[in-house]
Amino acid sequence: MLRSMGRVAVAYSGGVDSALLARLARDTLGDDAVAIMNVSPLISADDVDDAVRVARSIGVEALIVRSDPLNDPDFRRNPRDRCYLCKKLIFTAIVKAARARGIDTVIDGSHADDLKEDRPGHRALSELGIRSPLQEAGVNKEEVRGLARRLSVPSADQPSSPCLATRIPFGQEITEEALHMVGEAEHALKNLGFVNVRVRHHGAVARIEVPWGDISALVDMRDEVVEKLKRLGFVYVATDLQGLRSGSMSEAPGEGWTGQ
C-alpha cells in the first residue's frame, strides 16, 4: 500500500501510532517519506521534545509547522465537536506543507480500533483526503504496539497522550493559560514518578487521574502535589477515585456543566 503511494507525508505526533507509520514509510519509501508535526499550545513541551527524539531515532526527517487552533473563536468556545475543528485546522496546515514539497499524499496513524469510537476528528481527515494505512490494513492498537516493539520504535510502550484541550470540560473556554497550567501540572507529576497521568482543568479545581495502582502513591505524596499545583494557580486539588480513563470529560451531562 505504501509503495503504491510513491511519496508521502506522515502526520506525525511522536506517539506510537504515527511513529510506527513513519518508520514503515521510511523503510518502504526511503527519502520519499517525511514526517510533518504541528506544534501549538495544545501540545506540551515534553511531548514535542519526545516526538523530535523519536523521529531522529527512526531516521525520519521531521518538519515542524505551526497552526494554532486557539486563533479560531469557535474552537476556543470548546464545543463537543472541538476535535473536528482542531483536526481540520491542523491537517489543513500539514497538507499545505506537504504540497509545498511536492507531496500530494498525507497519511496518519489512525488504526482499526479507532473505528469503534466516536471521533469527530475523523470527519476532518475524510474531508481533506487523508489516508490511514494502518486502519485500511485492519491493524489494531495491540498489533501497532507489537510491530513497534519488533522494529524498536522508542515510543512502542509509551502511554497515549491526547492533546491538552482534552483536559478542559466542553463549554469551558480553552485558553493558553489553562493549557499551560495543565501542561506544567502534568510535567510536575511526571517528575514525581507518575508516568501516566491526566490533570483535568475545572476552573479553580485540578482533578488528577492516575491508574488505579498509583492512587495510593499519589495520596501519600499529597502535600508535595498540592503545593506544586497551587503554585501553578489551582485553588483546589482533587484525586479522581475512578482512576485514569479515556474520555472522562464526556461523562458530564452537557456543555458548561460544573456539577453544582
The Cα–Cα gap between 31 and 221 comes to 48
Domain end, chosen from 122, 150, 178, is at 150
Q: Is 156 inside any structural domain?
A: no
**Predicted confidence band of residue 250 (pLDDT cuts 50, 70, 90):** low
CA-based end-to-end distance of the chain: 52
Cell numbers linked to 238: 482533587
pTM beyond 0.85: yes
Residue 164: the pLDDT is 94
What whole-number percentage of the chain has pLDDT above 70? Answer: 93
Instruction: Burial-class residue 92 by CB neighbours within 10 Å (0-12, 13-18, 19+).
Output: middle
Instruction: Burial-class residue 258 by CB neighbours within 10 Å (0-12, 13-18, 19+).
Output: exposed
- Whole-number mean pLDDT of the chain? 92
Same domain, 232 and 200: yes
Same domain, 109 and 141: yes
Q: Is 63 inside any structural domain?
A: yes
Q: Is 120 inside any structural domain?
A: yes
Q: Is 159 inside any structural domain?
A: no
Considering its fold, how many domains does the chain have in total?
Answer: 2
Residue 256: the pLDDT is 47
Q: Is 158 inside any structural domain?
A: no
Higher per-residue pLDDT: 207 or 118:
207
Residue 203: the pLDDT is 95
DSSP letter (8 states) at residue 131: B
The Cα–Cα gap between 13 and 120 comes to 18
Same domain, 187 and 64: no
pLDDT (tens digit, 9 = 90+) per residue, 176-208?
Answer: 999 999 999 999 999 999 999 999 999 999 999
Find the domain containing 32 and state its range. Answer: 2-150
Residue 23: the pLDDT is 96
Q: Is 73 inside any structural domain?
A: yes
Same domain, 7 and 30: yes
Same domain, 124 and 239: no
Domain end, chosen from 88, 122, 150, is at 150
Domain end, chosen from 150, 176, 197, is at 150
Residue 61: the pLDDT is 80
Whether the CB-CB separation of 130 and 104 falls below 8 Å is answered with no
Residue 133: phi and psi, rounded to 5, are -55, -40
* Strand stretches in 103-260, DSSP E: 105-107, 198-202, 205-209, 236-239
Residue 209: phi and psi, rounded to 5, are -115, 125
Residue 19: CATH number of its domain: 3.40.50.620
Same domain, 118 and 39: yes
Q: Across-strand partners of 65?
A: 38
Residue 159: the pLDDT is 85
